[in-house]
Chains A and B, each alone.
Chain A
């Protein structure tokens, strides 16, 4: 977790945690203490590769000390009383979000083979990368939303006026989700993100007025994203 996030979220030692549980493997993949909505985005983004559910952990229940280094060693005692939500035959790509209810978290001896262990590790690394990116884009977009004039207009027209709106362009948050959903590696995702920002910067050239001002504001937005996500700023973006 980027140390910068503590400037934006209420508390980093929260007693509520959000753990991404993999029903198919009966392990936890990643845990986050900041934001349920970002966790939901993460589960959706990862659904192209692995199906997960979000377990809301309330630490007034007896819960072991679980973090991103050790969470893959923990399992749910059972999933019986989640009924449809975590039932193997009923879950799907849109993640179930549940509290622990009648089960508990236990340490289990999983006998994964070498291939499984490798891909679990790779997936966890990818999940951590995605989580960083998603926190970063959510925060940077809200901090710099005034530069997204078309998006603002679209929001007000479609939501508050309930008008049809032709511009189907995705928001930066959605664009980053799209990239993370389709990329196969962090390297590929990083490259795609760079290309997206390049395109975004180029859009500023279409502005009739205050082109330079827009461009600088977009650069600030992009810089914020890179700082928060801890991805090195690519030289060719010329920020």
Chain B
């Protein structure tokens, strides 16, 4: 088969703007295509495999080299704090050497608070003058103590509704944090932690009781994720249709077994979803959301991807099930290594014990059409092709019938090969 299109990023997402197209795709999709669309009913299907494990797509997907997963190194020993300190020192040196200016979006969440903490720890007052913090009321509300104590009237703050592309003609570097989530794997795991009893309630009593017995070991190396197969299938079933859950389980299982990375517990299984197949989606998020009028080359020159280092990724692969990422079956103990690092600096025990994930799109919610310069909602973006053009549904439905037909044909011939 020839591939006239080749994607670095793709996005099957049902929403008011795209429903019609995907419903049409559903009428022509082969079983593999039905799976892709079914999964998208649970969450936007932007899965791209960056590991050496086996995977398939209806269309051609290429990997940008920098996102290919490093080969697992079992001898890796650096700890999270060391790696974070080293990253801050890199920024400090860049400021000292080239007087580079850095911009960071501060949401008040753990990722951006961690980075600001590291920079506050290592940079002098003078060096911090080169830092601009993008923030708004949402940032304050998510971490008021930190904002009042360390940011307000101390660092340069700019309203985060400002578009990053406004900085494109400056020499500033933009620190992006979206893929932090991938190192510690949280969203779908948090969903499971909150709804464990909901997911098992319709299973046969013996399965239910078995899962209840082993649930506490789901974050340890004592029980393999395959023992939780019924639970995973239940979590990934769509409107009671177990078939999607089963296909998801087997596709991931095949990928995991051929990946060369040790993945054992139920927590690991969920971590792998982010660390492997959502990493690229999250890494490109700021390009998709914030770079409508700029080219990928321009974006890349500005982009300082804080967590995209070999050390952070190796750390992530060698630190499962030891309490660094998740300590117990409550959502407040997620990202413990982030919390410990911040707590050592700010001593805010409310944040340490109670901080939980909140919706990451909050910071965009107040962005209206005036300050978005009429750009379309990024949720209509289907993909980024090899020329780094954003392919959105406006173009897809109005201008590019060839692409539409290509997607429909690809869905129509994509079979289950796992």
Contact = CB atoms under 8 A, between A and B. Distances in A.
Interface string B321-342: 0000000101110000000000
A24 B148 contact: no
Contacts of B330: 24-26, 110
B-side interface size class:
20 to 34
Interface in B352-376: 353-360, 362
A182 interface: yes
B196 A78 contact: yes
A23 interface: yes
Given A24-B354, A47-B141, A119 B332 contact: no
Given A80-B198, A87-B191, A88-B193, A23 B350 contact: no
A81 to B, nearest CB: 7
Interface of B: 138, 141-142, 144-145, 148, 187, 190-191, 193-199, 201, 328, 330-332, 349-350, 353-360, 362
Chain B contact residues: over half helix, strand or loop, or mixed? helix
A90 B330 CA distance: 16
B198 A81 contact: yes
A52 B128 CA distance: 35
Contacts of B353: 115-116, 119
Interface in A182-204: 182, 184
Given A89-B359, A91-B358, A25 B332 contact: yes
Given A87-B191, A89-B187, A78 B198 contact: yes
Contact of B198 (A49, A77, A110, A181): A77
Contact of A50 (B145, B190, B350): B350
B319 to A, nearest CB: 20
A151 interface: no
B354 A51 contact: yes
A88 B142 CA distance: 14
Contacts of B142: 92-93
A48 B143 CA distance: 7
Given A25-B354, A89-B358, A116-B353, 11 more contacts: A23-B356, A24-B330, A26-B194, A48-B350, A50-B354, A78-B197, A78-B201, A87-B194, A91-B359, A92-B141, A113-B328
A88 B357 contact: yes
Contacts of A111: 328
B355 to A, nearest CB: 8
B307 to A, nearest CB: 19
A79 interface: yes
A213 to B, nearest CB: 39
A214 B245 CA distance: 69
Contacts of B355: 24
A125 to B, nearest CB: 13
15 contacts: A47-B141, A48-B144, A50-B350, A50-B354, A77-B197, A78-B197, A80-B195, A88-B190, A88-B357, A89-B187, A103-B198, A111-B328, A116-B353, A123-B354, A182-B148
